Each structure stands twice: as structure tokens, then as C-alpha cells.
Amino acid sequence: MKQNWIDTELVVSEKKSFNWTPSLLAKTTFYYIQSAGHFKTRKGYYTRREGFKSILLLYTLKGKGSAEYRGRRYELNPGQLFVINCYDYQEYYTSSDEGWDIKWVHLFGSNSEEYFNVIYDNYGPVIDIGSEIVDYIDMVMDMMEKGDRQFEIKASNIVVNMLTHILLEASSNSGYCESRSQHRQVREAISFIEANYNSNITVQDMAEKACYSLYHFIRVFKKTTGYSPYEYLVKYRINKAKALLDSTDKTIEDISYSVGFDSVSNFIRTFRQLEDMTPLKYRKLWRIQRRAQR
């Protein structure tokens, strides 16, 4: 196990950052935010670290930065996202006389490392991406600044959206899928899942929505998202169930049917497989945690 350490020289003209200590429930159940911020750095700024259990998403707004990660050097230009696992040694710094304007978020939990591995193994740590990722980071910082009481639930959903967005954008830009039309069709399938998750939909239904054969659809969807279509559907249903367990007094039976499961026993079994606890235990733990935060 690597010893964690950090060395940084914070040469900035403007700085805004927030830290969050995740609850035990968040660490065991959710994707969670550790910190987020916006730095307008000047020449001389740098960060070196190693041994931290954290995924860093760092977006360049203006100026230019440089980075070293896993034995390679990278230039970080406007419109590019730097995605790394902070357990491995990394170094990044301002390399432009005009400075380096960056927004960033540290996150971890759930399947974040698996998401990172899919991104890094297929596209590397530097990704050309639109500014929509900045909107997600701004949402996180806004909730942290306001002290949103449901921050951990909302942040978990935002993290999933961010990581999925990165995968879709990276696959679109790199040629990993055969064409942009495939990228659009996967988005269509995801929209179909999110609109119909509480119905008895099948992978064949998704494939037809995307205008693909069943085999081709499964292959393209898995390459683009890192999940099979069925895995994505089940995870989406469980995330919806977790929100209902926390925010309503609906029975476990009512929740199981409302998110698309065909039986209570199947719902409880699937929930336990993905979350390492029953839905009832999850509800009790979350409510204990929420009372403790009041």
C-alpha cells in the first residue's frame, strides 16, 4: 500500500474550493464528492501527490497546464479534461505565462474506479470534451456552498452523470465507436431506459429503439458505457429505489414494483447484491445518518 502525500504550491489570483467529509453511508453505498473548486493559477503553481483514494476530474477553461502521470507527460489545453486516479503518482502545473484557469472535482466510491479504468484504458487521461462537464462541477460547488441537506444523494447522481457523459463524449471523439450515429443511438437507448425503467422493458426493446440487431446493440452499448444494457437498467432501477427509500415512506413492496421489478424477492436479492445490504437496512442507516446531521 502506498503512503499518501501531497506537495503543492498554490500560486493563484483567484481561488474558490470546498471540501466534504462523506458519511459512512456515502462511503459504503454512494458515489461521493470529496472536494471541488475553481482556481485561476499563475506561473509557479503546481501539485504533486500520490497514494490518495480519489478520482480527479480537472477541466482547463483558459491558459495552459502540463501534467505527468504514469510515466508520460501531457499538455492540458482549453476544452480538455484531465482524468486520473490519485493513488498513482501525479504532477500538474501551470505552463503558460498567461496562467491556467481550471475547475476540478475529486470523487470516489461505488464503481468510480471501474469507470476510471474504462476511460483510461480506452482513451487515456486527456479527453477533448464540451463545457457541459463544467456545469456539473458548478452544480456540485453550488450545493456545497449552500449546505444542501440532500447533498450526498444528489451528488451521487451527478457523479454517475459526469462519468457517463465523459465516456460518451470520449467514445464519440476517439472513433471508439464506428461513427457518431452509434453515439447518438446509445444516447437514445439510455433515454429510453430512463423514461421506461419502471415498465417491463427488455434488451430487445432497447435494441429496437436504437435500430440495431440485439447482438450489435449489446456490443456497442457495452463499449460505450462500460455496462451491458441490462446491467445499466438494473443499476438505474436500484438508484431510483434508493431515492424512494430515503425520501418516502412507501413499503418495500411498493417501491420494488414502482421501479420495475417483477417481484419483491427479486428486488431484495438484487439490491443486496449491488449494495451489500437489504433495502430495509439501507433505509434505517440513511435515516439514522440524516437525524445525526440535524
Q: Which amino acid type is present at position 118?
A: V
Q: How many other C-beta atoms can be found within 10 angstroms of the C-beta atom of residue 189?
A: 27
**Cα separation, 41 vs 32, whole angstroms:** 26
Cα distances from 127 to residues 35, 119, 222, in angstroms, run 21, 9, 19
Q: So what's the pLDDT on residue 177?
A: 42
Pick from 245, 168, 232, 161: nearest CA to 197: 232
Which pLDDT value is given to residue 70? 86
Along the 294 residues of the chain, how does pLDDT read in single tens digits?
778 889 998 899 999 999 999 999 888 889 999 999 999 999 999 999 999 999 999 999 999 999 999 888 899 999 999 999 999 999 999 999 999 999 999 999 988 999 998 888 888 899 988 888 999 999 999 999 998 889 999 999 999 999 999 988 887 665 544 445 666 788 889 889 989 999 999 999 998 888 888 888 888 888 777 788 999 999 999 989 988 988 889 999 999 999 999 999 999 999 999 888 999 998 888 877 666 655
Residue 176's pLDDT is: 46
* Backbone dihedral region for residue 41 (phi beyond 0: left; psi -120 to 50: alpha; all else: beta): beta
The pLDDT assigned to 181 comes to: 62
Interatomic CA distance for residues 86 and 115, integer angstroms: 14
- SS3 helix, strand, coil % of the chain, rounded to 5? 50, 25, 25
Q: Do domains 5-150 and 180-293 have the same CATH topology?
A: no
Give Cβ neighbours of residue 269 (< 8 Å, ≥ 6 apart): none
For residue 96, give every residue at least 6 positions away whose Cβ sits within 8 Å of its Cβ, in sequence order, or none.
43, 63, 64, 65
Give the CA angle between residues 72, 77, 82 to the nearest 5°. Answer: 55
Does the domain spanning 180-293 belong to CATH 3.90.1150.10? no
The whole-angstrom separation of Cα 106 and Cα 49 is: 13
Containing H/E element for 60?
strand 55-63
C-alpha cell at position 262? 417483477
What global pTM score does this model have?
0.63
What Å distances lie between residue 106 and 37, 58, 77, CA to CA? 9, 9, 20
Q: What strand order describes the sheet that includes 46-50?
A: 5-9, 46-50, 90-94, 65-69, 72-76
pLDDT value of residue 175:
52
Architecture of the 5-150 domain: Sandwich (2.60)
Report how far residue 231's alpha carbon sits from residue 212's, in angstroms, rounded to the nearest whole number. Answer: 18
Domain ranges of the chain: 5-150, 180-293
The partner residues of 59 in beta bridges, in order of sequence, read: 81, 103
DSSP state of 89: -
Long-range contacts, 266-274 (Cβ 8 Å, 24+): 267/241, 270/234, 270/238, 271/238, 271/241, 274/234, 274/235, 274/238
User: Which DSSP letter does residue 2 get?
Assistant: P
Q: Which residues pair with 76 in a beta bridge?
A: 65
Say what the pLDDT of residue 294 is.
55
Burial class (CB in 10 A: 0-12, 13-18, 19+), 24: exposed
